[in-house]
Chain A
């Protein structure tokens, strides 16, 4: 008996010492990508895992952005948060304010000794997720931006040139009038109205959305969207609504369905909508940059991104952080970026990736897919780098609520924008107070 237990003991000891060499470091990645994008995430992890044996990325779908955020909060408070968490862009301030909960990506890369050059990243994309001192806080993963879609067949029927997209808002109004005259019930509608008509609008025209560099400079930023240009724009839209040129179709991406069905001839929404349009639209369509006001100085500057980034949670082991860093390096490589960009329509985050995609002739074969990228490959100003405001999810809802009242004729543009600023600033004050330390 004794010899058996000795043998067993020896075997176990040997196994115990031998194990670390074979043990893979598992890295939990919680994400919110569904459908084809979910497949993309799984493939990225699979390919990375196949390339090496030290680390294993385990992606888990954890619901929508809100749901996975709640799951992460609950898990963190219970002591078992994931390593990597995908968080939507409006949650950036919330993540940053939870100082003990996250580790800036720049630090993770540096500590792991990975080569990391912030200047290789497209500043309009990465800038959103970077601190003022240049340290990258989170890793841009799936970024889209605001673009303009239009129904070429409807344009032709209305006597407009289908190859010439309206480039300025006055041109848009004229086109809408012509479409209406030719019997079109919904010349233009807008999706993600807060993002397209207020946030991206501001960056595109190089005007402040909020003070302190749109919040990147500090928690005491306050909203500034009741400026004359903003009021003018919303008033224009309100007038268009009154004349039936602009038909409100709902919040978030709900209006997109009315473009696909052919009901609305023009739409401003995310560049990510492209895949849907390509597959389901039964008409010729075009993609163009967001319209602007030609008399605004500095327009067009660059648009603001949407989408999500990857945050690294705190409290993990050094070995695990090394794996995360290696994964991020893999994700940043031009080949992976270019392939992801072509597959999903999300923006490439490095200029090298953009060039690689261009060389491959992808943009020529898929006209319109470079519009989004072109709007971003610009040098950003301090008003257009991005937005970082606390309680931003609630502020977006306030924007929706107030704008709806304008479209319904219950408030004027100025009243609504003033209200957004007032209610938004209250929330910003509360956020500042709650995150003083």
Chain B
């Protein structure tokens, strides 16, 4: 890890005591159930578990032989990159401007964070409402402007829809953390730079952005994890992976198989694959990207 503290406290037992609560909770409520869930990837059973059979790597082999599964790797990659990049860029821009204004700041902040409070069940429905081909408000407006929106049959439209919905949900989240990060930069530093003659854009590039890098790194990792793991509800509400399989991202199939199709072995096998990918991605981020992060 590139980032370490020079100065630390010395104590034999205190760190263990501090870690203990979290360690216990994740051992009991994450690792134990997760191990059992992943074990299912080596089994084939009926939904209720009344007959369980060990099948070794057969679930994995089935995945490999399924061309639609392999195709969804590409779909997921495109989706995740778009969601992470757009989500971070847009919210950073909004946070910088929100940090700058004094009048109406609270108003903007509340309205920009509020959408995060929309219950996911309702959010999915709203997006359908707005984009339903022909009758949704947005598609109606697009149609009036001469653009035929049809995410039901057009794969690109469908991908655009889920990217927009996923980014929308994350903008509030990213915005909040970027804003918190910006506001914890001491104003004295900014003032000093301004007095030195640095203009706002320059101040942003040479001072605020580097000082924001811990937050940016945090959000980058979180957004990638989000795009890979937490977006199935959006796909389920908006396109269900369609048209055809154009918006079928990896995690959607995990959720669908485990939840709707009751294929617990297959779903577990896919989870293993997905976990491996994201852990690898995260290690890469920590190893290479974190080097660029400016902690002090």
By a beta-carbon cutoff of 8 Å, the part of chain A in contact with chain B is: 66-67, 69-70, 73, 76-77, 91, 94-95, 97-101, 185-186, 247-252, 254, 257-258, 261, 263, 391, 393-394, 397, 400-402, 404-405, 407-408, 410, 430, 433-435, 437
Contacts of B128 in A (CB 8 A): 254
Would you give the shortest CB distance from A398 to chain B, in whole angstroms? 10
Is residue B132 contacting chain A, with contact meaning CB distance below 8 A? yes
Selected contact of A434 from candidates B48, B53, B245, CB within 8 Å: B53
Q: Other than the known A66-B260, A250-B133, what 16 A-B pairs have Cβ atoms closer than 8 Å? A: A76-B49, A99-B50, A101-B47, A101-B48, A254-B128, A254-B132, A257-B132, A257-B135, A393-B260, A394-B261, A394-B263, A397-B240, A401-B242, A402-B244, A410-B244, A434-B46
A70 touches B259 (CB 8 A): yes
Would you give the shortest CB distance from B277 to chain A, in whole angstroms? 23
Contacts of B133 in A (CB 8 A): 249-250
Contacts of A394 in B (CB 8 A): 256-257, 260-261, 263
A400 touches B45 (CB 8 A): no
A69 touches B153 (CB 8 A): no
B47-59: CB near A (< 8 Å → 1, else 0) gives: 1111101000000
B194-218: CB near A (< 8 Å → 1, else 0) gives: 0000000000000000000000000
Contacts of A400 in B (CB 8 A): 240, 242
Selected contact of B262 from candidates A73, A249, A261, A263, CB within 8 Å: A73
- Across the A-B interface, give the 5 residue pairs with the lowest CB-CB distance, nearest first: A100-B50, A101-B48, A98-B48, A408-B153, A404-B243
Residue contacts A-B, CB under 8 angstroms, 23 given:
A67-B259, A73-B47, A76-B48, A77-B48, A94-B47, A94-B262, A98-B47, A98-B50, A99-B50, A100-B48, A100-B50, A101-B48, A247-B134, A249-B132, A249-B152, A258-B135, A393-B262, A394-B261, A404-B152, A404-B243, A405-B244, A434-B45, A435-B46
Dominant SS at the B interface?
Answer: loop
By a beta-carbon cutoff of 8 Å, the part of chain B in contact with chain A is: 44-51, 53, 62, 128, 132-135, 152-154, 240-245, 256-257, 259-263
Selected contact of A258 from candidates B51, B134, B259, CB within 8 Å: B134
B261 touches A391 (CB 8 A): yes
Dominant SS at the A interface?
Answer: helix
For the complex, what is the distance from the CA of A434 to the CA of B47, rounded to whole Å?
10
With A73-B262, A263-B134, A391-B261 already in contact, the answer to whether A408 and B243 are too (CB < 8 A) is yes
For the complex, what is the distance from the CA of A391 to the CA of B44, rounded to whole Å?
13
Contacts of A430 in B (CB 8 A): 62
Instruction: Give the one of B46, B62, B242 with max A CB within 10 A.
Output: B46
Would you give the shortest CB distance from A282 to chain B, in whole angstroms? 14
Contacts of B244 in A (CB 8 A): 401-402, 404-405, 408, 410
Contacts of B263 in A (CB 8 A): 391, 394
A186 touches B134 (CB 8 A): yes
Contacts of B47 in A (CB 8 A): 69, 73, 94-95, 97-98, 101
Contacts of B261 in A (CB 8 A): 391, 393-394
For the complex, what is the distance from the CA of A249 to the CA of B47, rounded to whole Å?
32
Contacts of A408 in B (CB 8 A): 153-154, 243-244
For the complex, what is the distance from the CA of A78 to the CA of B62, rounded to whole Å?
29
Contacts of B51 in A (CB 8 A): 99-100, 435, 437
Contacts of B259 in A (CB 8 A): 66-67, 70
Would you give the shortest CB distance from B61 to chain A, in whole angstroms? 12
Contacts of A410 in B (CB 8 A): 244
B135 touches A94 (CB 8 A): no
For the complex, what is the distance from the CA of A352 to the CA of B5, rounded to whole Å?
81
For the complex, what is the distance from the CA of A67 to the CA of B53, rounded to whole Å?
25
B46 touches A98 (CB 8 A): yes
Contacts of B134 in A (CB 8 A): 185-186, 247, 249, 258, 263
A189 closest partner in B (C-beta): B134
Contacts of B257 in A (CB 8 A): 394
Selected contact of A251 from candidates B154, B242, B256, CB within 8 Å: B242
Contacts of B243 in A (CB 8 A): 401, 404-405, 408
B262 touches A248 (CB 8 A): no
Instruction: Give the one of B62, B245, B259, B260 with max A CB within 10 A.
Output: B260
For the complex, what is the distance from the CA of A261 to the CA of B133, rounded to whole Å?
13
For the complex, what is the distance from the CA of A429 to the CA of B135, rounded to whole Å?
42
For the complex, what is the distance from the CA of A247 to the CA of B134, rounded to whole Å?
10
For the complex, what is the distance from the CA of A66 to the CA of B257, rounded to whole Å?
11
Contacts of A401 in B (CB 8 A): 241-245
For the complex, what is the distance from the CA of A98 to the CA of B132, rounded to whole Å?
39
B135 touches A250 (CB 8 A): no
With A397-B240, A407-B153 already in contact, the answer to whether A73 and B48 are too (CB < 8 A) is yes
Contacts of A254 in B (CB 8 A): 128, 132
With A76-B48, A77-B49, A101-B50 already in contact, the answer to whether A250 and B152 are too (CB < 8 A) is yes
For the complex, what is the distance from the CA of A373 to the CA of B69, rounded to whole Å?
42
For the complex, what is the distance from the CA of A95 to the CA of B48, rounded to whole Å?
8
A67 closest partner in B (C-beta): B259
For the complex, what is the distance from the CA of A241 to the CA of B273, rounded to whole Å?
39
Contacts of A433 in B (CB 8 A): 44
For the complex, what is the distance from the CA of A247 to the CA of B148, rounded to whole Å?
13
Contacts of A248 in B (CB 8 A): 152-153
Instruction: Give the one of A77, A258, A404 with max B CB within 10 A.
Output: A404
For the complex, what is the distance from the CA of A340 to the CA of B235, rounded to whole Å?
35
Contacts of A73 in B (CB 8 A): 47-49, 262
For the complex, what is the distance from the CA of A106 to the CA of B64, rounded to whole Å?
43
With A97-B46, A408-B154 already in contact, the answer to whether A69 and B240 are too (CB < 8 A) is no
With A257-B132, A401-B244 already in contact, the answer to whether A69 and B262 are too (CB < 8 A) is yes
Contacts of A67 in B (CB 8 A): 259
For the complex, what is the distance from the CA of A67 to the CA of B132, rounded to whole Å?
25
For the complex, what is the distance from the CA of A261 to the CA of B140, rounded to whole Å?
13
B242 closest partner in A (C-beta): A404
B154 closest partner in A (C-beta): A408
Contacts of B260 in A (CB 8 A): 66, 393-394
For the complex, what is the distance from the CA of A100 to the CA of B44, rounded to whole Å?
16
Instruction: Give the one of A97, A247, A252, A408 with max B CB within 10 A.
Output: A408
